[in-house]
Structure 1
C-alpha cells in the first residue's frame, strides 16, 4: 500500500464504478446537447474576488468553505466552489453576448471544491454537470432547464425525486420582503452568527437546516405575499409551462438556495433516499450577477446537478445502469510468432471500433483465459503456433463456451458484424 492516501473529504474514481459516473455525466449532458447548449470549460481556479462578488461575501461558501491562496506573484486565487460565476466570467470575457444570438446557452462538467465537514454525499471535492442560459429573461427558458434536468434524471431510471420551486422576487419587491423578514427574525432567539446574518442577508436564515432555528421560523413572512405583479406573473407562467409539459413540482415558499445571486425563479431537485443531504441539484435565475462581476445587464438562468449525489440516488433506488462492456474481445497469443501476428489483428480490430484487449506479459494459456474472463469480454480470440500455420484463430464465445476456427484475414469483418 502507498504511504500516501487521498486527502480527507476526497475520493478516487476507479473502475468499475467510475463507468457509472461517466454514464451519469453523459445522461445529464445529453438533453442539453440536444437543446442548443454548447460545451464550455473554465480553469479550476479563479480570482477570489469573482466568487466574493458573485456568490456573496456573507455566504458560508466564501467565508468558511472556499480554498483560497496567494500565488508567488501576489495574486489571490481560489479553487472554484461552484460553476456559474466562472462560466459567466468566461462568456463575458469572450464577448459571447455580443454575437447577437441570445441567450448564450452553455453546459459544463467538472470538479469543484469546498472545505466542508466530510460526510456521505458531502465532499471537499465533488463533481457537477451544469447549464447556463445567459442573456434572456423568459419564463420558457426557466421551464426549459427544469424540464431538461427532469429528462436527464428519468433517462437514468430515477423516479423518487421531487422538484421544489419558488420565486425570490427581484430588486423591486425583494427589499420590502427583506425588511419584513428582518423585523420578524430580530424577535427570535438566535445565536450571534445567525443574528449577523439577519443584518447582512436575512433570506439565508430561511435556509438554516438546524431544527431549533426551523422551529422558530414557523409564521415567518412569506415571499409570495410580497411579490410584485411582474414577479407574480413571471412565476405563474413558469408554473404553467411546467404543468403543460407534464413535469410535477412542489411549491416551497422557504426555498432560497445557498447563493446570493438568485432572483425570481429558484428550484431544487431532492431525493428522499439520501437523508440530510437530499439535494441532488438545483439552480435558478440570476438576473443581476453579470453586473455584480463588472459586466452589462444580462438576465440569466442555470442549474448544477451533482454527479456524486445522483450516483447515490441511483444506489438508493436500486437502479443499475446498463453499461457497455469496456472490452468486447480479449486476444490470447501462444508463442512469440503468434503474439506478433495477433497484436496486428488487435490493432485492426481497434481501428474498426471493436473494443479489444490483449494478454500482455507473456502469461500462459490458463492465466490468460482467466484474465479474459475477468475482463468481461464476450469473445476470446486465441492464436497458437498450429493455428498460425493453418491461417486461423480460435474464437471462443465466453457466454456459451462455444469455440470455432476463424480465418485470420476474416476476423475483423466477422467480429465487427457480430458486435454491431
Structure 2
C-alpha cells in the first residue's frame, strides 16, 4: 500500500529546502534591524479564539478551518493565521504591562486552511508575519509597510505594487456599512448566497467576493473614502505623508478590503506584477486593527501587522528569474582506504565538525575512484585522503579540487590547517 502526503501538503526536499532556509534567515535579519522580536505560538488553539478573533462571518471560520475535538471533548483548531494567536499570547502573558512599548513581534511557521489546493496555495502553508501592538502613531503603519516591501526587495524582487486603502474608524465604518446595505440591497437576490449573508453580517466583505466581483453593482459601490470622518481622513493622510518621506510608491484602491473582521484604518496589499506570475497576484496583505486585544480579554489596544506566504514569495522569485546566492557545496570530503585509516578518519571527521568545518565521508565502502566522484558531485572544495602510507607517516593528503593542488599535512595540524584555509576563502 502506497501512502502519499495528504492533498494540499508538500514535502520540501534538499535542493529546495536550502532556498527556504535562506529566505527565512533573510527575513529574520530584516526583522532584527527593525527591532521586531520572534514569537512562537502553538500550532493549535481553542476554536473560540479564531471565532472571536478572526470573525464568525469570514470564510476562514465558516469554511476553511481544521477543527476537531480533543480527547477531553474540547474544540481545538489548527491555526489558520497568525495574528489571533499572537494577540492571545500578548494578553495571556500580560505583555501590555511591560515598560518597553510598543510590542513588536515577528513569527514564522505552518498555518492550515481547508481550501482547494492550487499553485502557491496549499492547505498547509508557511506564513511569515509581524505585529506591532500598543501604538496609534501613523508612523508605525508606515514602518510596517516599509518592512513588508523590504521583505521582497532585499531578496531582489522588483515588479511590486503596494495597494493602499483606509477602512476608517468605527464611526466611519458604520456610516459606510449603512451605505453599502442601501446600495446592494436592491440586488440582494442577484448576489451569491454567501454575499446575501454578508450583506447583513459584514457588508464590507461583499466587495471582496470572488464570485460577484463582475456584478455591475460592484463598480458603483460607495467608497469608504467618502465616509471617512475627520480623524480617519487625517490619519490616512499622515500615513501617506510618511510613505512619501521614505520614497515608497503606492496606489490607492478604495475597494481594497481585508478578509478578516478585525481591521480598521490602514489596509494594504503587496502584489507582483511579474509576467507569468499567475492570475492571483497578491503576495501579502495586512493592516491596522482595534478591538482584537479586547476581544480576547485584554485592555483597549491597537495594533498593525501583515502576513505573507513563503510559498508565494518563492514563486515570485522564480517568476522574476532571481537565483538566490546559496552555498550548496561541501567544505571537505574525507577519503580513507583501509580499516585502520577509516578509524582515524572517523575521529578526524568528528574533530573537524567540532571545529566548525562542514565535512562528510563515504559510508558505502566505495573504492577511491568512486569516493572522488562522490566528492566531485557534492562540490567539495577539498578532499582529504588517508591511506596506509599516510597513516604510517602520520600525515594526510589535502587536495584542493578547484586547482588540483595537493599538500601533505601532519595529522596533528590538520584541524588548524583546514580552519585557516577555509577562513582565507571566505
From the superposition, tell whether residues 326 and 263 of structure 1 become closer, same or farther in structure 2 (CA, over 3 Å).
Answer: farther
Gaps of 5+ in 1: none
Q: Is the CA contact 1:122–1:277 (under 8 Å) kept in the aligned structure 2? A: no
Distance in 2, Cα, partners of 1:358 & 1:241: 56
What SS does the aligned partner of 1:183 have? helix
SS at match of 2:412: helix
Match of 1:399 in 2: 402
Q: Say yes or no: does 1:81 pair with 2:80.
A: yes
- 1:214 deviates by 5.2
The CA distance in 1 between the partners of 2:268 and 2:380, in whole Å, is 43
Q: Secondary structure at the match of 1:419?
A: helix
Find the aligned partners of 1:197 and 1:221 in 2 and give their Cα distance.
Answer: 16
Q: Would you say the 8 A contact 1:208–1:214 is kept in 2? A: no
Q: CA deviation at 1:152?
A: 2.0
Residue equivalent to 1:284:
287
Give distance in 2, aligned partners of 1:325 and 1:166: 43
Query: Aligned pair 1:237/2:238, yes or no?
Result: yes
Matching residue of 2:35: 36
Asked if structure 2 preserves the Cα contact closer than 8 Å seen for 1:30 and 1:152, the reply is no
SS of alignment partner, residue 353 of structure 2: helix
Give, in angstroms, the shift of residue 117 of structure 1: 0.3
Q: Partner residue of 1:127? A: 126
| Pair 215,331 (structure 1): closer, same or farther in 2 beyond 3 Å | farther
Equivalence for 2:269: 268
Which range moves more in the overlay, 299-308 or 356-365? Answer: 356-365
> By how many angstroms is 1:326 displaced?
5.5
Deviation at 1:314, TM superposition (A): 0.5
CA distance in 1, matches of 2:160, 2:6: 31
Shift of 1:305: 1.6
TM-score normalized with structure 1 length: 0.96
**Farther-moved stretch of structure 1 (140-149 vs 44-53):** 140-149
How many angstroms does 1:191 deviate by?
2.2
**Rounded Cα–Cα distance in structure 1 between residues aligned with 2:7 and 2:216:** 33
Map 1:162-311; keep pairs closer than 5 Å: 162-188=161-187, 189-210=190-211, 213=214, 215-273=216-274, 274-311=277-314
Q: Which residue of 2 aligns with 1:154?
A: 153
1:150 deviates by: 1.7
Structure 1 residue 258: Cα displacement: 0.9
Deviation at 1:100, TM superposition (A): 2.1
Secondary structure at the residue paired with 1:110? strand
2:278, 2:68 → 1: CA distance?
33
Describe how 1:377-388 pairs up with structure 2 within 5 A.
377-388=380-391
Contact 2:329 2:381 in 1 (8 A): no
Classify the secondary structure of the residue corresponding to 2:76: strand
Shift of the alpha carbon at 1:301? Answer: 0.7
Contact 2:207 2:213 (C-alpha < 8 Å) held by counterparts: no
**In 2, Cα distance between the equivalents of 1:263 and 1:85?**
15
Q: Distance in 1 between matches of 2:345 and 2:306?
A: 49
CA distance in 2, matches of 1:232, 1:376: 59
- C-alpha deviation, 1:68, in angstroms: 0.3
Structure 2 CA distance for aligned equivalents of residues 250 and 83 of structure 1: 26
The gaps in structure 2 that reach 5 residues or longer are none
Shift of residue 34, structure 1, vs aligned partner: 1.8
Deviation at residue 151 of structure 1 after TM alignment = 1.8
Q: Deviations over 1:346-383 (max 9, x none)?
A: 22222221211122233221222222122222112121
Q: Is the 8 A contact 2:168 2:265 kept in 1?
A: yes
Alignment coverage as a number of residue pairs: 419
- The answer as to whether partners of 1:81 and 1:113 remain within 8 angstroms in 2 is yes
In the aligned structure 1, how far is the partner of 2:420 from the partner of 2:61? 56
Equivalent position SS for 2:380: coil
Separation of aligned partners in 1, 2:401 and 2:383: 7
SS in 2 for 1:205: helix
1:54-65 matched pairs, under 5 angstroms: 54-65=53-64
Match of 1:283, SS?
A: strand
- Tell me the CA shift for residue 22 of structure 1: 1.3
Shift, 1:211, TM fit: 6.4
Task: Verify: 1:48 aligned to 2:51, yes or no.
Answer: no
Residues 334 and 385 in structure 2, CA contact (< 8 A), matched pair in contact too: yes
Distance in 2 between residues matched to 1:314 and 1:417, nearest whole Å:
36
C-alpha separation in 2, matches of 1:139 and 1:216: 33
Measured in 2, the distance between the counterparts of 1:104 and 1:113 equals: 26
* Displacement after TM superposition at 1:139 (Å): 0.8
CA contact (8 A) 1:140 1:238 kept: yes
Report the aligned-residue RMSD.
1.5
Match of 2:340 in 1: 337
